[in-house]
Amino acid sequence: MNLAQHLQKNCECKDTQKTILAAASASIDIYQALKVQKIEYTHQENTSGETQLSHDLIADEILAKKLEATGSVSCFVSEERASEMCFIKHIPNKLVVAFDPIDGSSVASSGLAVGTSMGIYRGVRNFLEATGRHQVASVYFVYGPRIICVYSTGKGVHLFAYDEEAKQFNLEQENLKLKDGLKICGIGSLQKSDNIAGFTDLINHWGKEGFSLRYSGSMTADMNGILKRGGGIFAYPDSKLRLLYECNPFAFLIEQAGGKARDMCGRDILDLPIKAIDDTSPILIGATKEVEAAEKFLMKACKIN
């Protein structure tokens, strides 16, 4: 079964179907750009102060054009843009979309997998009225040896791979689920570990328990590893990862797969208010037991602001 057929069966909302298919079509062009064009730093920064790469901007443009053509999306925010962009003003019930065009882009030039992540919202006029619970769907793409597409519209999490010959995404795994007890961890923000209470104890705990480290510098690829293997945990205890572009889309998928995404203060990521489009949060995300165990160590570092 291909992606279009699966969406037809699994999602009543035509606008959501069209948006996911537009993102899938964009992913093929983004992958092509990654394969053929040299990756260079530009002289521009995004709102998080990260120097933008040529590919971040190319992917951003590709996605914006594909989304506009759907007629289903009124507005979007992108990690590469300073403010919300609207194709059409305030169309009730149309979708609003948040995406990171190339997540982890700085590791692409080392030959590592990178990805696109996207949260799709309905029923909000602007993101500042929303939480991650307003997402009606979430999708990501991983650009590695093949393009992998994983989506959820609130009815399970489904994985597809792009077939270059048939030129379509074919279903590989339906209803991905996370189980407890898989000893895989990813941990970012080591450089801040001195300032984060419980951080060193957590690393020692994982070491004693025999966890394997899987951390690539690209959250999308690492989250795909967790969903694909069916367990484990990814933690970024410093507040760097953005709610709209990274935390919310993955939290939606992980909850759908039976796991948890928390902010170190015991709050679900999906319940956090969005006060600015580039808001960030600490995140513990993965199988329930692993998240709850890590939370016991890192709760000490909870800062509610």
Q: How far is the CB of 166 from Mn ion (least distance, A)?
A: 30
Minimum Å gap between C-beta 79 and ligand F6P is 7
List 15, 60, 103, 263, residue binding ligand F6P (CB under 6 A): 103
100 binds Mn ion (CB under 5 A): yes
If binding is defined by CB under 6 A, does position 263 make contact with ligand F6P? no
Which residue's CB is nearer to ligand F6P, number 104 or number 249? 104
CA distances from residue 297 to 64, 204, 228, 238, 300 in whole angstroms, order as listed:
41, 11, 26, 14, 7
Stretch that binds ligand F6P, among 89-97, 118-126, 216-224, 281-289 (CB under 6 A): 216-224
Count the site residues for Mn ion by CB under 5 A: 2
Contact between 255 and ligand F6P per CB under 6 A: no
**Stretch binding ligand F6P (CB under 6 A), from 129-137, 160-168, 213-221, 289-297:** 213-221
Q: Which is nearer to ligand F6P, 75 or 108 (CB)?
A: 108
End-to-end CA distance of the chain: 46
Complex with ligand F6P: residue 217 or 258, whichever CB lies closer: 217
Q: How far is the CB of 197 from ligand F6P (least distance, A)?
A: 19
Q: Does 103 bind Mn ion (CB under 5 A)?
A: yes
How many chain residues bind ligand F6P (CB under 6 A)?
Answer: 8
188 binds ligand F6P (CB under 6 A): yes
Q: How far is the CB of 276 from ligand F6P (least distance, A)?
A: 17
219 in contact with ligand F6P (CB under 6 A): yes
Q: Is 217 in the site for ligand F6P (CB under 6 A)?
A: yes
Report, in Å, the least distance between residue 116 CB and ligand F6P. Answer: 11
